[in-house]
Amino acid sequence: MRFRHADALWADHPELSAGALHATGIDISADVTARVAEYTSRATARLAGTSESAFPEVLAWRRTFSRMGLKPTQYRCASESLLRRLRKEGELPRIHPVVDLCNALSVAYGVPVAALDVDRISGPLLEVRHALGDEHYTTFGGDTEHPAPGEVTFVDSAGRAHARRWTNRQSGHSAVGEHTGRILVVTEAMHEGGAQTVSDLLKTAAEELTAHWPTTTASAVLTRSAPEFVFGD
């Protein structure tokens, strides 16, 4: 399978830094409690006396959302939403060991981290691109939506959208769950220094996954000149 960002997206957002990681051997047995606590404590310390809205990582995504015609305080990137929840409630929801770990890494590094069930993606291509308007997106409640033409989303070969408003909301269809065995982790940054953040996050994610599961990982930092990640069978 191939994962990539469309050329038009790199042209519109030359500041984009992106990375992807594929892992196998995933199940629900791992106990990531201590590691989640470690990463969320880093974020909590950073939030002390300030707000996530002041983070350069978040500000960069707010600017991106504004350029896309979205009101940043109405539609927040996933990392901002998680940081906001952490600041207000003092903890993050527990969903699945992989999701919990990715959410904790997201708040620790300040950038969106998506985890998708590979077996719920129709290959051979998953592309981040502007929607045509005929893609179908499944909410976590099971409803079907259609991203508006021009909206940035993750689209597979069957025309299924796996995100809304780029990094705002993932799809319930490919959400990691109890039957997930293979995952694709995607992280994207827009701030200055984002390439280093993405590289560091991918390295940390690979270390954590191999520490908690009998997994094999492969990853890549994506650029405009090398935009594609080939993984799996």
pLDDT in tens, 121-130: 999 999 999 9
* 18 and 222 Cβ atoms separated by less than 8 Å: yes
Task: Cis check for the bond before 124: say yes or no (omega within 30 of 0).
Answer: yes
- The overall average pLDDT reported for the chain is 97
- Distance, CA of 155 to CA of 161 (rounded, Å): 5
- pLDDT band of residue 49 (cuts 50, 70, 90) is confident
Give the structural domain span for 59: 2-230
Backbone φ and ψ for 62, nearest 5 degrees, come out as -65, -40
User: Which pLDDT value is given to residue 195?
Assistant: 97
Taking residues 157-175, what's their average pLDDT? 98
Taking residues 201-214, what's their average pLDDT? 98
> Is residue 233's pLDDT more than 80?
no
Write the burial class of residue 139 (CB in 10 Å: 0-12 exposed, 13-18 middle, 19+ buried): middle
Quick: pLDDT tens for 18-47: 999 999 999 999 999 999 999 999 999 999
Taking residues 146-171, what's their average pLDDT? 98
User: Which pLDDT value is given to residue 106?
Assistant: 98
Taking residues 208-227, what's their average pLDDT? 97
- Distance, CA of 155 to CA of 146 (rounded, Å): 12
Domain count of the fold of the chain: 1
- Distance, CA of 86 to CA of 96 (rounded, Å): 17
Taking residues 5-12, what's their average pLDDT? 98
- The predicted model scores a pTM of 0.97
- Distance, CA of 32 to CA of 26 (rounded, Å): 13
- Distance, CA of 96 to CA of 91 (rounded, Å): 15
Q: Residue 67: which H helix or E strand, with range?
A: helix 56-67
CATH number for 62: 3.50.40.10
User: Which residues is 136 bridged to in the sheet?
Assistant: 160
Taking residues 67-75, what's their average pLDDT? 95
Task: Report the relative pairing of strands 2-5 and 160-161 from DSSP bridges.
Answer: unpaired
Taking residues 94-118, what's their average pLDDT? 98
> Is residue 107's pLDDT more than 80?
yes
